[in-house]
Structure 1
Amino acid sequence: MLADAHRDGMASDIPMTGEDGLWLRLDRPNNVLGVVSVLWTATPVDPTALRRLLAERIVDRYPVFRCRPVTRSAWLPGAAWEEDPDFDLGRHVLVESLPDAHPEAALQQRVGDLRSTCLDLEHPPWSVHLLQGHGRGSAVVVRTHHALADGVRMTRLLFALLDPLPGEGAAARPVGTHGMDDPFADLLAAPRHPLRALGAGVRVLTSGLNTVYDTLQMLGWTNPPTAWTGPPGTRKSAAWSDPVPLDLLADLAHAEGATINDVCLALLGGALARAHRAEMRAATPSDLAWMVPVNLEPLEAGPPERLGNRFALVLVVLPLRGPFRARVAEVHARVERLRHSWEPVLTRGLQQLLGLAPNPLATTLSDYFAGKAVGVLTNVPGPRSAMALAGAEVTGIVGWAPCSGDQVMTACIVSYAGRVRIGFGTDDRRVGDARLMVAAFRDELHAVVEQYRTAAAPAGVPAPRPEPGVSTAATPIAAVNRSDPRGSPRR
């Protein structure tokens, strides 16, 4: 949209959609609305090569990256993207050095600093930080304002900077959360496929009932008070888990007849309970709701054709208590109901309406709905084989959507090259250091793996040794019965 306007020679002052402008209005010092992604490499990244990639694949292709936001009124909606007359790529691409000692901790500290810092709205609101000295390689932190694009499209842009390693094919796949069931194509084919249309009719009825249920639940839901309840502060932290082999999660999903996403959410629920119980010395609630972004447009591999925000937020209630098996079953049932619901369409419509509302009404209602969740949870399927950034092999990726209102936590589930990492971004005042959440997740995963090994492994058979650099809990479950008839894992 913006790119076409520039090519056609139109004025550089381009109206911003109400939905994009809403995220600009919701930006606050205690919850900066920046999408943050981090990747690190096995060898150093050349700064000149990185700048060239950014210029060719991002800035030249999407001229909005040369524009700054301009607000028309402090009370009424309305904003525009105005070309920055002082645009300088060097202002946005910064080269820094990590200390020689503890580079991973230093990287997480730097990411926390950037998550706590407001983006400069006097210039295009994005930055790329090349951090040299991350082990034998580099780390790259990308920050973009939510008004530029949603997290799904920004992640696709990040992947657009990567190239297959020599001898590898392009292995990028679409990025997003769970998809939505669409029965209407089968309904329209009723004259040719009556049985298929009948099944589609049942699915439409089911979707309608699920929509009513989910909408009433969202409107009536209030998270129980926890030690994390309350207005957040301005200081944020970030941390991420060791890589977990995707095969391990697939084994767990296969054993439970669930999806890998279900398993990750059940593990996350258990980790939240552990962290709340151990660190906060407070009673653990039975359920806690998160906001989960859902992309509403078909996704293809490669960079997006256009930017902006075209997604919905749905409320997903995670069970925290009970055995792992029970939590997986409950998560599976809740997510499947959302998949066969039109709640995402309704919440997207609400976002669009709020984007057209005056500031007091838009911010009040946005804060009301944000307050129903402890934070934002994303699931990002990345490239299935290792990729390279400016010739340097990428060895890990994490990334977070921002929080809004009084939300105090953001979490991501990111798969890359056959491994999965769980990343946490936390508010220091309410939650504390994000590394506490990572430790709780590690302990939960270890406990679940040991539970399956103990139940199925023959006595006297030692557990397999962990791979170097991989979580000690993240080794294959040798004794999980892969012939379990309850189903195969799905993303």
Structure 2
Amino acid sequence: MSAVDTAWLRMDRPHNLMMICGVLLFREPVELKRMRELVRQRFLVFARFRQRAVEAPGGAFWETDPHFDLSRHVASARLPGRAGQSELQRYVSKLIATPLSRARPMWQFHLIANYGGGSALIARIHHSYADGMALVRVMLSMTDASPDGPPAMPFAPEARARKESDRASGRSRNTLNAALKVGSILLEKGAALLADPAKAAALAARGSAFTTEIAKLARMPKDSPTRFKGAPGKAKRVAWAQPLPLSEVKTLGRALGASVNDVMLSCVAGAIRRYLAEKGDAVAGVTLRALVPVNLRPMEEACQLGNRFGLVFLDLPIGIENPVARLYAVRANMHALKGSYQPILAMGVLAAMGTGPKALQEALLHALSRKASAVMTNVPGPQQPLYLAGAKIDSLMFWVPQSGDIGMGVSILSYDGAVQFGLLTDRGLCPDPERIIARFGSEFDTLLLTTLMASWPRDGNLDPDEAAVAAGVFGG
């Protein structure tokens, strides 16, 4: 098992399980027998999914499960009561807090046969098998372009798929080598680099881009103290919004010189701002920092398993009330991250966590997680309808795990002309994520209305008149 994959195996905590969870919704029933056969034919082509993880003193390795039983991994369930969205969200919340057994391969598909007149599929896969981008690709390889095929996104031949991450080449190998170099520095110098800004600054003076990035990370202060920070518990809550038309989000973004991601994150920040304000919390000057995964995997290796991604820290300007000004701040923060060595540094940190002693692992995990309040993912999905086991996928979403003591996960995913926003929270820190979700759509409407009220500069610099318009509408 690679060092980075081992790190994700080691990071499991009772209060934050390292599993990726996906939810697919269908307007028609999906047959359990057909679903199991689909998993057998397309999911198990990756030999890794027949293997279980085994920890050893020198690291960890994969071992084929001699008693593999597909029925343990693909099972059906029924929701209680009205079997609607609320009941499904409660069921998903329970599964996200339920660990996968290490006695067998750590993945499960739960087919809900009675969801809203149709069905739902919940996928749980441990992060040690692959990162979110790879697993989304694996899931898409199981879909068809029509009810009876052909496959919408064919996967690599079995012989190549089984080699998985062992065939890293070119850009991928260079990235991995750079990450391992950072990891070796962290192993040599220990967690003191991240815990002591002075030591990190001295190392940065040596001129290496990577060591400079370590110093910047060490000097990075915590984000604002909000109710989302604290010691998480075992219980979780999930909620998701009604999808927004992707065309409308793109049109609004073009009008403001912003990306779909900028628009969505600005609305997320606005919804969180309103939630905090309604709770009576201070919002002026508040910044919520999120860890954002960055794909480091070349396209030709998209179907290979393993973890090949880095992380960047993104500040969400919760304290900005004007939605246009908030969007420009999000855009500026995103732009500042371009060309950053943070992703490779983060991958190096994970490599060090997977090979170093447990004390170093705990120190590095604490140093990373204490600087952020959320993990945020944004995945552009296919823009045509897809079918799974003969049923059309109506919508889909997924969440990656929250590391350390982070208690919030934000998921943005586009599919078939719509974009979906989902939220995962710790029940002790935020017991009602549906209240944030409920304000997301109105934040988009407010941003749209504000954009139509004036001609905003695409460069994001507001002149005094524009600032006055914003103050008149939003009370300063």
TM class, shorter-chain normalised? Answer: 0.7 to 0.9
Whole-angstrom distance in 1 between the partners of 2:126 and 2:284? 34
Task: Please list the CA deviations of residues 345-375 of structure 1 after superposition, one character each: whole Å capped at 9, or x if unmatched.
Answer: 2222222122211111112211220121112
TM-score, length-scaled by structure 2? 0.80
Report the 3-state secondary structure (helix = DSSP H, G, I; strand = E; otherwise coil) of the residue aligned with 2:279: helix
Task: Please report how far the alpha carbon of residue 132 of structure 1 lies from its aligned counterpart in structure 2 after TM superposition.
Answer: 0.9
Aligned length: 408
The alpha-carbon distance between structure 1 residues 388 and 218, as it changes in their structure 2 partners (threshold 3 A), is: farther
Other-structure match for 2:310? 312
Q: Is the 8 A contact 2:30 2:391 kept in 1?
A: yes
**Matches of 1:230 and 1:405 in 2, distance apart?**
11
CA distance in 1, matches of 2:329, 2:211: 18
The gaps in structure 1 that reach 5 residues or longer are: 1-15, 175-181, 183-207, 457-479
What is the CA–CA distance in structure 1 between the aligned matches of 2:128 and 2:293, rounded to whole Å? Answer: 15
Matching of residue 68 in structure 1 with residue 52 in structure 2: yes
For 1:68, give the aligned amino acid: R
> Aligned match of 1:45 in 5, 12, 30?
30
Q: Counterpart of 1:272?
A: 272
Structure number having the greater helix percentage = 2
Residues 241 and 422, structure 1, Cα contact 8 Å, conserved in 2: yes
The verdict on how the C-alpha distance between 1:167 and 1:330 changes in structure 2, with shifts beyond 3 A counting, is farther
After superposition, the CA RMSD in angstroms is 2.7
User: What's 1:297 paired with?
Assistant: 297
1:212 CA displacement = 5.2
- TM-superposed CA distance for 1:445, in Å, is 2.0
Is 1:258 the counterpart of 2:262? The answer is no
CA deviation after TM superposition for structure 1 residue 423, in Å: 0.3
Q: Aligned partner of 1:155: which letter?
A: V
Distance 1:411 1:224, change over 3 A: same
Specify the SS of the correspondent of 1:130: strand
- How far residue 72 of structure 1 moved from its aligned partner, in angstroms, is 0.9
- Preserved CA contact (<8 Å) 1:211 1:342: no
Q: 2:411 & 2:38 partners in 1: Cα distance?
A: 26
Matched to 1:28, the amino acid is: R
Say whether 1:137 aligns with 2:118: yes
Give, as a single letter, the amino acid of the residue that structure 1 aligns with 2:314. V
Supply the distance in 2 between the matched residues of 1:342 and 1:307 (Cα, whole angstroms): 23
The separation in 2 between residues aligned to 1:251 and 1:225, in whole angstroms, is 35
- How many Å apart are 1:17 and its aligned residue? 1.2
The C-alpha deviation readout for 1:275-331, integer Å capped at 9, x for no partner, is 12213644455211100000112226xx94421111111111111122111122222
Letter in 2 for 1:228: F
The residue that corresponds to 1:78 in the other structure is 59
Q: Is the 8 A contact 2:83 2:114 kept in 1?
A: no
What residue is the counterpart of 1:228 in the other structure?
228
1:40-439 mapped onto 2 (5 Å cutoff): 40-59=25-44, 61-73=45-57, 78-99=59-80, 101-165=82-146, 216=216, 219-279=219-279, 281-283=281-283, 285-299=285-299, 304-322=302-320, 323-439=322-438
Larger CA deviation: 22-31 vs 159-168: 159-168
Q: Distance in 1 between matches of 2:435 and 2:214?
A: 32
Alpha-carbon shift at residue 340 of structure 1 (Å): 2.2
| In structure 2, distance between residues paired with 1:63 and 1:404 | 27
Partner of 1:468: none
Change (3 A) 1:269 1:133: same
Find the residue that maps to 1:164 and give its secondary structure. Answer: coil
Post-superposition Cα deviations, 1:180-230, rounded to whole Å, max 9, x if no partner, equal xx9xxxxxxxxxxxxxxxxxxxxxxxxx99995796156422112112221
How far did residue 441 of structure 1 move? 1.7
Q: Sort the Cα spacing of 1:284 and 1:24 in 2 relative to 1 into closer, same or farther, 3 A.
A: farther
Q: Displacement of 1:99 after TM fit?
A: 3.2
Separation in 1 of the partners of 2:345 and 2:227?
Answer: 32
Q: What CA distance in whole angstroms lies between the structure 2 residues aligned with 1:213 and 1:346?
A: 7
Asked whether the equivalents of residues 371 and 406 of structure 1 are also in contact (C-alpha less than 8 Å), the reply is: yes
Separation of aligned partners in 2, 1:332 and 1:80: 42
Tell me how far apart the structure 2 counterparts of residues 170 and 262 of structure 1 sit (CA, whole Å).
Answer: 32
